[in-house]
Amino acid sequence: MRVVSGIKPTGNLHLGNYLGAVKQWVAMQDDIQAKGGETMYFIADLHGLTEWITPAAMAANTIEMTATLIAAGIDPDRSILFNQTRVSAHSELGWLLNNVARVGWLNRMTQFKDKAGKNREGASVGLYDYPVLMAADVLLYNATHVPVGEDQKQHLELARDIATKFNNDYERELFTLPEPLISGAAPRIMSLRDGSAKMSKSNPSEMSLVKLIDSDEMIAEKFRKAKTDPDVLPETMEGLEGRAEARNLITIYAALSDRAPDDVLAQFAGKGFGAFKPELADLAVATLGPIRERLTRLLDDRGEVGRILERGAEKARDLAAPLLLDVQRTMGLQI
């Protein structure tokens, strides 16, 4: 069992990023390896180019995302951790698979329509074509399983279609068809000032999000000042209908403590936010404080973070090279 997954680089990560993605990866690493499997995680910097970003921001975001993954529990000695650009086989296989994928398949990809919006003619070719690179990202390593959320199922189906067509066209069972790895739904973390909006670093209010680099005091203050309502907490999540801010805080507590939301409400039912918020703040500080300390140490030596990526990339290149060569020979390119 080999699990391969990538994440686009972003900097200045917040609680929503951690609970929605990073924490899920750490749990996956431990679970898959306990079953005797392998985990490969990469920073999808090539995918990060599909929309404009300055070179300085790309470089900084790649290092910060890597440091965050390590600080949160991804172990580069147990998982292969690297960034795409260091393994040129991703791009090479992506081009080869462009000649297997069909235009009609890409035209059905809803992500391009959503991201390009009304500016389809002005969107980059990369934004249109990146699902083929995503296919290369996993087929390159004969991944057996790929973690997928609801918005990525279509891309995994495309990867399987490309692999099947290649195998049929060249009458070889060369590519493994990856299976979806379905985990529990990642919690959707909302703004601390508006329960109807996602937690986002683009929000102008610093009090709307908890950054992973926030001090203990700042974390506690943000939860103390989080928007709530005057009602007490009910016994079940159904009782929070129409109470978006209250639902969000319960969701955060449940995700941080690895408990079901209804279990959290059973503990706090009948209590007001004057009692609940300090408990939530303490839990957040206890969870995020050690991550912040490790993250700060890692970012103090960004060169070492880059070297960690290079060590991971060396392992990835060794895994990728034989398959890429096999594909090239199959297509008559290595003579």
Residues annotated as catalytic are 115, 198, 201
Instruction: Say how far apart CA 296 and CA 15 lie, in whole Å.
Output: 16
Phi, psi of 181 (to 5 degrees): -105, 105
Angle formed at CA 66 by CA 52 and CA 207, multiple of 5 degrees: 75
Instruction: Say how far apart CA 101 and CA 132 lie, in whole Å.
Output: 7
Instruction: Say how far apart CA 192 and CA 46 lie, in whole Å.
Output: 32
What is the three-state SS of 204-256?
Answer: CCHHHCCECCCCHHHHHHHHHCCCCCCCCCCCCHHHHCCCHHHHHHHHHHHHH
Residue with tokens 């943000």: 222
Instruction: Say how far apart CA 88 and CA 140 lie, in whole Å.
Output: 11
The amino acid sitting at 113 is: K
Instruction: Say how far apart CA 133 and CA 136 lie, in whole Å.
Output: 5
Hey, what's the torsion of the CAs at 313, 21, 279, 299, to 10 degrees?
Answer: 30
Tell which residue, 132, 184, 173, 185, has the closest CA to residue 156: 132
Phi, psi of 207 (to 5 degrees): -80, 0
- Give percent helix, percent strand, percent coil of the chain, each to the nearest 5: 60, 10, 35
- Crossing angle of helices 125-139 and 153-169, in 10° steps, is 70
The amino acid sitting at 234 is: P
Instruction: Say how far apart CA 295 and CA 293 lie, in whole Å.
Output: 5
Can you list the positions of beta strands (E) in 140-235?
145-147, 179-181
